[in-house]
Amino acid sequence: MYKSKKVVVVLPAYNASQTISQTFEEIPFDIVDEVILCDDHSTDDTVKIAKQLGIKHIITHDQNKGYGGNQKSLYQKALSLGGDIIIMLHPDYQYTPKLIPSFVNIIGEDLYPVVLGSRILGKGALKGGMPYYKYISNRFLTFVQNILIDQKLSEYHTGYRAFSREVLESINFMNNSDDFIFDNQMLSQIVYHGFDIAEITCPTKYFKEASSINFNRSVKYGIGVLGVSFKHFFQRRRIGKFRIYEKPL
């Protein structure tokens, strides 16, 4: 708990057997109340190791639903458990769990309802081994997104993020894609519905066991990001109307 607010960490897992233990062991359980892991039909021992670690809440998908589909299951479960501060942490150890107290403090003190761990602030991305083509595309997409969405974020593509309960209850994340574009759709929804976003510097690690998408999927993702940004632009100016911006029922 943090000031009577329940803190829940959610782990979207896919073939994370080699890194989940290291990730889990660094979670600060002095403030984290619950950990939820959703296994998206892994072909390794992710679920077995998660059980050995003592993770109480494990969701298993009978078929691969995608990165966005994984998060949908996690956020629904986190809300059902009464989570007030929900932090998404990748179990591939690309992001350090040691920043969780900072996320919790910012939301718990009602400073911001959303916090992103930015790899771009402080030059952490290249230092951590981000491929140069991904760095360049990240910077280009972020530049375009800031113009279309009217924000000043350092990046929209980090997988390390935290939300207040109010945010997750106010956006219709179930209308989003089940693929990687889910993350960008969420941020677009958050901005559209008037929530402010904080960023903190986040070191990152790129190594063989860390999850990543290949070049072709990166291109598809980039096109999807631009599509989301233009939809946001059109929706805000009442030129178009898109389901992802509808309020939850």
Mean pLDDT in residue range 183-192 = 98
The dihedral through the CA atoms of 192, 194, 195, 196 has a sign that is positive
User: Which is more confident, 149 or 121?
Assistant: 149
Model pLDDT, residue 210: 56
pLDDT at position 211, please? 56
Domain annotation covers residue 2? no
Domain, as residue range, for 18:
7-245
Does pLDDT of 209 surpass 70?
Answer: no
pLDDT tens profile 78-125: 999 999 999 999 999 999 999 999 999 999 999 999 999 999 987 767
User: Average pLDDT for residues 44-70, to the nearest whole number?
Assistant: 97
pLDDT at 126: 76
Please say whether the dihedral angle defined by the alpha carbons of residues 131, 132, 137 and 140, taken in this order, is positive or negative: positive
d(CA 163, CA 66): 21
Q: Which residues have CB under 8 Å from 219's CB, separation 6+?
A: none
- pLDDT at res. 214: 73
Asked whether residue 1 is assigned to any structural domain, the reply reads no
Q: How confident is the model at residue 207 (pLDDT cuts 50, 70, 90)?
A: low
Q: Is the pLDDT of residue 249 over 90?
A: no
Give the mean model confidence (pLDDT) for residues 148-166: 96
For residue 216, what pLDDT is reported?
Answer: 82
In a domain, 199, yes or no: yes
What does the pLDDT read at residue 198?
98
Q: What is the mean pLDDT of the chain?
A: 94
In a domain, 14, yes or no: yes
Do 61 and 79 contact (CB within 8 A), yes or no?
A: no
Q: Does 65 map to a domain?
A: yes
DSSP letter assigned to residue 18 = T
Q: Considering the domain boundaries, does residue 33 fall inside one?
A: yes
Average pLDDT of the residues in 127-133: 79
pLDDT score at 134: 84
Strands in the chain per DSSP E = 7-13, 34-39, 57-60, 85-88, 114-118, 161-164, 197-201
Residue 175 lies in a domain: yes
Residue 248 DSSP class: P
The answer to whether 247 and 170 have CB atoms below 8 angstroms apart is yes
The CATH number of the domain holding residue 153 is 3.90.550.10
Whether residue 215 lies inside any domain: the answer is yes
Number of domains composing the chain: 1
Q: What's residue 208's pLDDT?
A: 62
User: Averaged over 206-211, what is the pLDDT?
Assistant: 61
Higher pLDDT, 204 or 213: 204
Predicted confidence (pLDDT) at residue 127 exceeds the cutoff of 90: no
Give the integer Cα–Cα distance in Å for 245 and 186: 10
